[in-house]
Structure 1
Amino acid sequence: MTGSEDSPAFRLAYVPGVIPAKWVRIWNERRTDVPLTLLQVSAAEAVGLLLGGDADAGLVRLPVDRSVLSAIPLYTETTVVVVPKDHVVAAVDEVTAEDLADDIVLHPLDDTLAWERLPGRPAIERPATTEDAVDLVAAGIGVLVVPQSLARLHHRKDLTYRPVTDAPESRIALSWPENRTTDLVEDFIGIVRGRTVNSSRGRREEPEAQQPKTKKRPGTEGAARKPAAGRSAGRGGGAGKGGAAGRGTRQGKPRRK
Structure 2
Amino acid sequence: MMFYQICRFIICVFVSQILIVASAQARDLLIVGSSTVSNHIFWHKKEEYQNNSGIMFDVIPSSSGRGIMALAQGRADIAMISSDLGSLVAKLNTMGEEQLNPDDFIVHPIAQSKVVFIVHPDNPLDHLSRAQVRDILTGKIAQWPDLRSQALGDIRVVTEHPTGGMYRWVETHVTDGSPFVAHKTVMQNAPQVALVVSQDKNAFGFVSNATPDEQMRRAKIVDVPDLDATQHLYFVTRVENTPESADVLISYLKEILAK
- Is the pair's TM-score, using the shorter chain for normalization, greater than 0.5? yes
**Does residue 1:118 correspond to 2:175, yes or no?**
yes
Report the 3-state secondary structure (helix = DSSP H, G, I; strand = E; otherwise coil) of the residue aligned with 1:88.
coil
For residue 183 of structure 1, report the CA deviation from its aligned partner: 1.7
For residue 134 of structure 1, report the CA deviation from its aligned partner: 4.9
Instruction: Specify whether residues 133 and 123 from structure 1 end up closer, same or farther in structure 2 by C-alpha distance, changes over 3 A only.
Output: farther
Aligned pairs for 1:95-110 (under 5 A) are 95-100=128-133, 101=135, 102=141, 103=144, 104=155, 106=157, 108=159, 109-110=161-162
What is the TM-score when the length of structure 2 is the normalising length?
Answer: 0.58
- Look up the equivalent residue of 1:49 and give its one-letter code: A
What residue is the counterpart of 1:135 in the other structure? 196
For residue 122 of structure 1, report the CA deviation from its aligned partner: 6.3
What is the TM-score when the length of structure 1 is the normalising length?
Answer: 0.59
Give the structure with the higher percent helix.
Answer: 2
For residue 185 of structure 1, report the CA deviation from its aligned partner: 1.7
**Does residue 1:38 correspond to 2:67, yes or no?**
no
Contact 2:63 2:81 in 1 (8 A): no
Once structures 1 and 2 are overlaid, which stretch shifts more, 181-190 or 95-104? 95-104
**Does residue 1:15 correspond to 2:34, yes or no?**
yes
What residue is the counterpart of 1:182 in the other structure? 243
For residue 14 of structure 1, report the CA deviation from its aligned partner: 4.1
**Does residue 1:75 correspond to 2:111, yes or no?**
yes
Contact 2:113 2:232 in 1 (8 A): yes
Question: % of aligned pairs identical?
Answer: 10
**How many residues end up aligned between the 2 structures?**
187
Separation (CA, whole Å) in 2 of partners of 1:175 and 1:54: 13
**Does residue 1:164 correspond to 2:224, yes or no?**
yes
Q: Which has the higher contact order (CA 8 A, sep 6+)?
A: 2
Kindly provide the CA deviation profile for residues 91-128 of structure 1, in whole angstroms up to 9, marking residues without a partner as x: x5xx4313445454725343342424539x96550212
For residue 161 of structure 1, report the CA deviation from its aligned partner: 0.8
What residue is the counterpart of 1:145 in the other structure? 206
Larger radius of gyration: 1
For residue 173 of structure 1, report the CA deviation from its aligned partner: 0.6
CA RMSD, 1 decimal = 3.5
- Look up the equivalent residue of 2:120 and give its one-letter code: P
Task: Give unmatched runs, 5+ long, in structure 1.
Answer: 196-257
**Does residue 1:6 correspond to 2:6, yes or no?**
no
Contact 1:10 1:35 in 2 (8 A): yes
